[in-house]
Structure 1
């Protein structure tokens, strides 16, 4: 079989072209049209599907109002390669999302959508929005399928039966618009047996992802002139008592809710107050506050039971406060919810990946991660799924997002070998 490194120059050009598409804010269409054209040029059988806002609105992780789910001009696309007797072997999905989070150009040293090559610690790097999360990983999957297809056509990959499908999905950062749709309604005329999502895991197999409940806290106080602030009731001390109570519950849950794949984290199920809006004028006592809160949910837990714990803790704080008892806060779900997802470490896709890693000299035991990913949608659809890809999650969503290029090449070779083992 050819070496993955033989595709290096073509892969570089492919990644650069994909990065140059600004795929923020639902703007994936041009990139997806380009990808579909590339799939067709490579000889892949192509597929395309669109999300249905009405269908997603009844999904427990999405808003109930279809108008809040952006689906127009957001196709997901895929390219499939068949080997031997395709129905006699498994179908392996190699998945990546094409959307990226916004980039504040004032915080970047370069244009976020102009890929820049450099060097760090003796390794070649690529800097751009989406370099790590996750256009390089998605591109590596494309060329992993190319490698296997070229090897089969050259007679160098005999004994393979099944399919490899490369997916480019939309809206992962918004809860998985494309992947959830594919999980709810299979877009292919064949079943899917395993999936690999090329998120930036640092070449480590991730078999469990955390869930999260997103809620908005609203607290009311009483306004007054700042010169007579004692005549008012500031919301800030009340909010601070609630925030500290949530942090204490986070610590309690870290001790009580245990999972063998999360032992390396001191706070495996973190609570985070990401946005706070309070007050209306510097000379007025702040009389209202809204805070957006993300609550971590362990694999094996449900969103509802963890949500109930935090609701109960809030009720305890309210009961201890005369003001809050008379003016009870609200704490309602908002935005997108993420359920946990977990694949058995002994699943065939994990075993094939670990064998391919070992053959390439890549070390790493299966772990769990504190973030959510599209893998959960496939897991809930009964498709064993593992995360594995180049890049560091610490680079994701950050200014000057970078990836070490040797990791991209290594990941592509490992993914190709893992797929080959599953199809053997």
Structure 2
């Protein structure tokens, strides 16, 4: 796929081209190749590749370095008949303007398109003899929508951390075009419910493990999630069963069931405190720790909006900051002492939905705000 020809045009058309390249987690190579090829044609940038993660950098000697980061992968395509948020994308004319439907429109190929468009802007600025107040690192990475251990960003931060050193980072996750500070943490658990197998015609000889999950599910259903204020922003938590599996045949009483649970926790907690909270809740259903296995865990990030770089960014792009309810890679940067915020086009509530979409106006407004911040002029 050739997206190089789209760079000098409308960022909305560029977004369409990027969505058209399907890149469900684990299948990012084609899009990563296209991004690398597009960036290779720009002057003033050095390129580095690690698997399906692409990094581009300016090195002008400016006194500050900022990072623009976005992931190339999406969640799987919707399976519901008639879903519009799929691949290939399509434009629809709606009240208020043109709207682009397709998987990744908000999460986060719109943001990736803005990143690429800004790379073209900066290259043209440098080629024309312009200077930069901030050197810039762009990172386009793989495997964000799956377990943290597979993250391309995490891989590069561990293996070649110098490539992603900086003074401030912006994650172009969907935020409705306003700054979202910090992020909730996330952890996942598998809870095993034991039973005793038997012929379903003689069910009294066994113990049904699926039925045995009822107490756990009731506790989760009755759980009242908190809203917790951190540095002036209110973060909503959530503790939910997200998957359940068990049973071997239609005539066998199941002898085991596994309930998968996801806890989204506010940045007032460490991962260890979040795990302890889940264990405490599960104990109310008679679940012991030896029945629980942690399968994934990522720390939350505090907002950090009082940092000078964050304050300057907010002043440049405008708007009233909001909390980020989902987990994003601001947490990885924050853990390494790099202040980071979320700022990107599209409604975050549409991420992962069957009708995922973004407006052309939102894409253009995000691009214009970041162009103004980086280059100081108005498009």
TM-score interval w.r.t. the shorter chain?
Answer: 0.7 to 0.9
CA distance in 1, matches of 2:196, 2:255: 5
TM-score (norm 2): 0.87
Indicate yes or no: 2:57 matched with 1:80: yes
Is contact 1:107–1:399 with CA below 8 Å preserved after alignment? no
TM-score calculated relative to the size of structure 1: 0.78
1:345-384 alignment, distance < 5 Å? 345-358=305-318, 363=319, 365-384=320-339
Aligned residue among 205, 224, 230 for 1:259:
230
Question: Partners of 1:112 and 1:180 in 2: how far apart?
Answer: 28
User: Which structure carries more strand by proportion?
Assistant: 2
Gaps of 5+ in 2: 1-5
CA distance in 2 between counterparts of 1:101 and 1:316 reads 33
Secondary structure class of the residue paired with 1:165:
strand
Deviations 1:281-308 (A, max 9, x none): 3444333211111112221312222212
Aligned residue for 2:355, secondary structure, equals coil
Alignment of 1:297-336 (within 5 A): 297-318=265-286, 330-334=291-295, 336=296
Distance in 2 between residues matched to 1:147 and 1:40, nearest whole Å = 14
**Structure 1, 224-233 or 214-223: larger mean CA deviation:** 224-233
Query: Aligned pair in 2 of structure 1 residues 368, 110: CA closer, same or farther (>3 Å)?
Result: closer
The question of 1:146 aligning with 2:120 is answered yes
The verdict on how the C-alpha distance between 1:153 and 1:32 changes in structure 2, with shifts beyond 3 A counting, is same
Q: Which has the higher helix share?
A: 1
Q: Is this contact kept in 2: 1:221–1:232, CA < 8 A?
A: yes
The equivalent of 1:388 in structure 2 is 343
**Deviation at 1:247?**
4.7
- Alignment match, 1:53: none
Aligned residues: 369
Is the contact between residue 85 and residue 355 of structure 2 (CA under 8 Å) also seen in structure 1? no
Quote the residue 1:69 is aligned against. Answer: none
Alpha-carbon distance in 2 for matches of 1:234, 1:75: 45
Distance 1:94 1:25, change over 3 A: closer
- Contact 1:349–1:386 (Cα < 8 Å) also in 2: no
Once superposed, what is the RMSD of the aligned Cα atoms? 2.8
Distance 1:245 1:403 in 2: 37
- What residue in structure 1 maps to residue 187 of structure 2? 213
Contact 2:239-2:262 within 8 A present in 1 as well: yes
Distance in 1 separating the partners of 2:164 and 2:266? 32
**Deviation (angstroms), 1:216:** 0.4
CA contact (8 A) 2:85 2:354 kept: no
Map of 2:3 onto structure 1? none
Instruction: Give the drift of 1:406.
Output: 0.4
- Asked if structure 2 preserves the Cα contact closer than 8 Å seen for 1:298 and 1:340, the reply is yes
Question: How far apart, in 1, do the equivalents of 2:316 and 2:340 lie?
Answer: 16
Q: Is 1:229 aligned to residue 166 of structure 2?
A: no
- Picking from 290, 297, 303, the partner of 1:337 is 297
Q: Given that residues 118 and 124 in structure 1 are in contact (C-alpha distance below 8 angstroms), is that contact kept between their aligned partners in structure 2?
A: yes
Residue number in structure 2 paired with 1:96: 70
- After the TM superposition, which of the residue ranges 200-209 and 273-282 deviates more from structure 2? 273-282
Aligned pairs for 1:60-75 within 5 A = 74-75=51-52
Which residue is 2:106 aligned to?
Answer: 132
Question: What do the CA deviations read for 1:286-340 (whole angstroms, capped 9, x no partner)?
Answer: 332111111122213122222123223433432xxxxx89xx9611011x32211
8 Å CA contact 2:219–2:284 kept in 1: the answer is no
In 2, the alpha carbon distance for the partners of 1:165 and 1:38 equals: 16
> What residue ranges of structure 1 are gaps of 5+ in the alignment?
1-5, 51-73, 319-323
